Structure 1
Amino acid sequence: MTVTVVYDNSEARELCAAQHLYLKPIAKLMINVLLPESTEPMRPFSNWEVLDQLKSLICPDQFTTVRLSKSTKNFIRFEGEAETQSLVQILKAKLHGKIIKLNGLKTDLKVVATDAQGEWEHLPQKQEAPSSDGADELDCNKSPHSIHFQGLPCKWFAPKGSSGEKPCEEILRVVFESFGKIKNVDIPMLDPYREVMTGGSFGGFSFGLQTFEAFIQYQESTDFIKAMESLRGMKLMLKGDDGKALACNIKVTFDTTKHFSEGAIRRRNQEKLKLQELEEERRKEKKREEEEAERNPHSLTHRR
């Protein structure tokens, strides 16, 4: 997940004042440069040569970031990000319908600029109605109103003044209870057995900032929907005591793994119990070896 310095936080809205956390709208622009259909041979030109022309068109304004999204024989597509959504509209007006002229190229290139479509999920139209047949079995495997977060910065959810950078479940709960009462919270990286159980890692790094994933389940569907709606198309922003702000992209999706279902919790507990028993057996075996070594101090020398 990308972490950027925020220079204009005028569109940010408060998420949790106690943690200095805010939500900042993602402001992106899709720019298509249409290539001519001329049959005449053209001199070769690079995508970056085209990008330089686009930057000239919006000057003195600038993109926060810009990347090549797609390049075909018909068009070159760039995705640009700006500080605010209002600036995106200004950039779009500066770019849309404009013509790019490249030295040595007879045919002009046309620019088409549009608001970028978000990749975030859409809420379901209807909530599934419970079935009377096999209700107990269904309830065991359900995990309603749950959200899966990825890319949350550990340091932003760690207790103030703590030497480590481990996130705190209570802080996570306080931050996201701004949308409603939370029933369950789980941060897999805080469970020392979880990585062994799954064979994977529950954290990552983004520009030197360690991140974590988390699962949150709301008590009410209305609060769950409110959270998903509020987080859609948003970055997470931290405002420091010095007034400086950082923002990062986070991934917010429906929990499709049924993480808080009775069945999933039972399986995790069973696997954890097995690991604890194995760990205890290894500890006892090590203790027996140490006691044996103390009773027979010359046994190792004899073996050599």
Structure 2
Amino acid sequence: MSIQVCRDPCDAVALYLPQRLYLKSFAKLNISVQLPTHKVHGKSISNWELMEKLRKMIQPDSFSLLKVTKHSSEVIRFEAELENREKLDRVLSRLEDRIVQLNDYPDPLKVKVTEAKSDFPSRHAWDSFFRDATDMDEMKPGERPDTVHIANLPIRWFVHERDLNEDSPPSENLCKKVFEKFGSIRQVDVPAADPFRMQMKSSMRGITTPPQDAQLYFEAYIQFSEYVSFVRCMDALRGRKLLRKRDDIAEWCTLQIDFDKTKHMTDAAVKRRAIVRERLVARQKAKEEEERQEKERVSKREAKERQKYERTELEKLEKMREREEKRKKKQLAKLMERDEVDLNSRVADERRKLLKEQKKLQAIRLLEELFKRIELRPDLRRIGHKPERYYTAGERSARARIVDRMKKQQEDALEAQRNHLKSALDGRIVIRSALETKKPRRNSSVSSDSSIEEERQKRIKTERLTTPEREIQYKGMYGMPAYGFGYPFAPVPHFAYHPQSMSIVTLLIYLA
């Protein structure tokens, strides 16, 4: 029944070369070892040792199969197979009437061997069956000798290479091509290839393979169009095994072959199976449609539940956001009340500091302009020095560097003070807007939230532009730009500053 390795495939006959299938003859033997009538106390016969003795007797030939079929007190019978029928006569002559002497058994054992009778159906068997059957009509297909029932076919040998996997069913088309060698085929039935066959009644299935072998082997019904083709197929399969050659090894297996006696391939049986199959297919489709609708209902229900859950979560988040805003407002109000923060006074202080920094910067720029005018007057000399000595280039550059450094420091201080004032104003606007924020509507849309945010930004921008403190950023003192140069009074044209009229000490006191 199982697949075995064939060591001598030389006499194999091609059956279907695309699948590398061949038919190979073999010979079967029945070997009997007669046991003595009297028993030796404490001694037993080892079947394994006896099989080794038989293998040595036929050397250099060998058995492809040797197994025990019966072990009684009188005889031990073995079933053996040879890979080549040409070796049959030679093996029979080597085993017939031979004596076997075992190591632990004192009595000799005599060997008898004969060729086993084949259980393959003969031509007389199927002719007499259909002739004597009262419920058969030889004029109808399936009720006459035209169908071959072949069992124990390996599934993997009848599957195309492109479709080969663990769950691939055997191919009916491939079976038909394999056995078309013997003649025209009317129809083929492979029960293992029908997914609905196991749902039919046992009388309609046509399955005789045991369930434990159904994963490896299958059976097929081959119905020929002519009686001659049927006979040719039976004669070709008699006394042969199915062999498949691979790249590096050859495997073969024993086939169980018989003619169909169950009317499995009659037109009525085929039509009945087709009707039942259509019903099963319709039932399967209805079941799949019902399962699909059930999945859709479940998915819709889950979608609704998910939307409800998301809506609930959004409401919870909205409530949490409202509570958080209220909490922040309360904390901000408590903070302002506890620390007595007066944002208006802070803005006023920052404004005064900004004005002071602007005055200092204007004083430095005034000093710079004064030095420039002094340099333009050649009649002005240094105090306490001789009148013929003027200011040198090095002194002028040193004085310019000192003035530039003081001006740069004062500009940085002015810019920092502007930032402080801006921060104070922004803090007042943010706190005021936070305290005046209205409670948002529940379940508000995205457009309403965006409109509220736009109104809030617009109000903040308007408040920033309309506060008096912001005007300082765009205007300097006495109507002049913040970074422009301005005098606290209009200078008199061609006014000459005498060195004694404004000393350096006076300028420093003014800067302080």
Distance 2:12 2:212 in 1: 24
Q: 1:297 to 1:52 in 2, by over 3 A?
A: closer
Letter in 1 for 2:256: K
Distance 1:140 1:7 in 2: 41
Displacement of 1:86: 1.9
Q: 1:134 to 1:163 in 2, by over 3 A?
A: closer
Contact in 1 for aligned 2:15/2:178 (Cα 8 Å): yes
Contact in 2 for aligned 1:189/1:203 (Cα 8 Å): no
Displacement of 1:107: 2.7
Distance 2:196 2:18 in 1: 31
Structure 1 counterpart of 2:276: 271
Q: 1:40 to 1:159 in 2, by over 3 A?
A: closer
Q: 1:74 to 1:193 in 2, by over 3 A?
A: same
Letter in 1 for 2:193: L
Letter in 2 for 1:152: L
Q: 1:274 to 1:58 in 2, by over 3 A?
A: same
Letter in 2 for 1:88: L
Amino-acid identity (%): 31
Displacement of 1:106: 3.9
Is there any run of 5+ residues in structure 2 with no aligned partner, and where? 309-512
* One of 169, 175, 179 as aligned partner of 2:172: 169
Q: Which moved more, 1:24-33 or 1:260-269?
A: 260-269
SS of alignment partner, residue 177 of structure 1: helix
Determine whether 1:216 maps to 2:227.
no
Distance 1:130 1:48 in 2: 48
Contact in 1 for aligned 2:45/2:105 (Cα 8 Å): no
Displacement of 1:290: 3.3
Contact in 2 for aligned 1:28/1:116 (Cα 8 Å): yes
Contact in 2 for aligned 1:147/1:253 (Cα 8 Å): yes
Q: 1:122 to 1:294 in 2, by over 3 A?
A: same
Q: Which moved more, 1:271-280 or 1:182-191?
A: 271-280
Determine whether 1:230 maps to 2:233.
no
Distance 2:48 2:15 in 1: 38
Distance 1:239 1:23 in 2: 11
Q: For 1:152-208, what per-residue CA distance to the aligned partner results, in whole angstroms no more than 9, with x for missing partners?
A: 1222222233343432222211211111111011111221111222478768787x9
Determine whether 1:156 maps to 2:157.
yes
Displacement of 1:76: 0.6
Distance 1:37 1:291 in 2: 80
Structure 1 counterpart of 2:267: 262
Displacement of 1:89: 2.5
Distance 1:106 1:130 in 2: 56
Matches within 5 A, 1:171-186: 171-186=174-189
Distance 2:115 2:218 in 1: 30
Q: 1:163 to 1:42 in 2, by over 3 A?
A: closer
Q: 1:185 to 1:300 in 2, by over 3 A?
A: farther
Distance 2:170 2:289 in 1: 32
Distance 2:131 2:31 in 1: 43
Letter in 1 for 2:245: K
Structure 2 counterpart of 1:196: 199
Letter in 2 for 1:234: R
Letter in 1 for 2:275: Q
Q: 1:16 to 1:163 in 2, by over 3 A?
A: closer
Q: Which moved more, 1:287-296 or 1:163-172?
A: 287-296
Letter in 1 for 2:220: A
Q: Which structure dedicates a bigger proportion of its chain to strand?
A: 1
Q: For 1:56-103, what per-residue CA distance to the aligned partner results, in whole angstroms no more than 9, with x for missing partners?
A: 322343212210011122211111122211223322211111111223
Structure 2 counterpart of 1:293: 298
Displacement of 1:39: 6.5
Contact in 2 for aligned 1:30/1:116 (Cα 8 Å): yes
SS of alignment partner, residue 124 of structure 1: helix
Q: Which moved more, 1:211-220 or 1:191-200?
A: 191-200
Q: For 1:25-68, what per-residue CA distance to the aligned partner results, in whole angstroms no more than 9, with x for missing partners?
A: 12222111111223775722222232222223223432122100
Structure 1 counterpart of 2:69: 69
Q: Which moved more, 1:243-252 or 1:174-183?
A: 243-252
Q: 1:9 to 1:33 in 2, by over 3 A?
A: same
Letter in 2 for 1:147: V
Is there any run of 5+ residues in structure 1 with no aligned partner, and where? none
Q: 1:116 to 1:156 in 2, by over 3 A?
A: same
Q: For 1:234-273, what per-residue CA distance to the aligned partner results, in whole angstroms no more than 9, with x for missing partners?
A: 1001122x36321111111111221111221132123212
Distance 1:51 1:217 in 2: 43
Q: Which structure dedicates a bigger proportion of its chain to helix?
A: 2
SS of alignment partner, residue 268 of structure 1: helix
TM-score normalised by structure 1 residue count: 0.84
Determine whether 1:142 maps to 2:148.
no
Q: 1:141 to 1:251 in 2, by over 3 A?
A: closer
Q: 1:194 to 1:143 in 2, by over 3 A?
A: farther
Determine whether 1:249 maps to 2:250.
no
Q: 1:284 to 1:47 in 2, by over 3 A?
A: same
Displacement of 1:288: 3.3
Contact in 1 for aligned 2:3/2:253 (Cα 8 Å): yes
Q: CA RMSD in A?
A: 3.3
Q: For 1:3-42, what per-residue CA distance to the aligned partner results, in whole angstroms no more than 9, with x for missing partners?
A: 1222212222222233321111122221111112237757
Structure 1 counterpart of 2:90: 90
Determine whether 1:31 maps to 2:31.
yes
Distance 1:298 1:17 in 2: 58
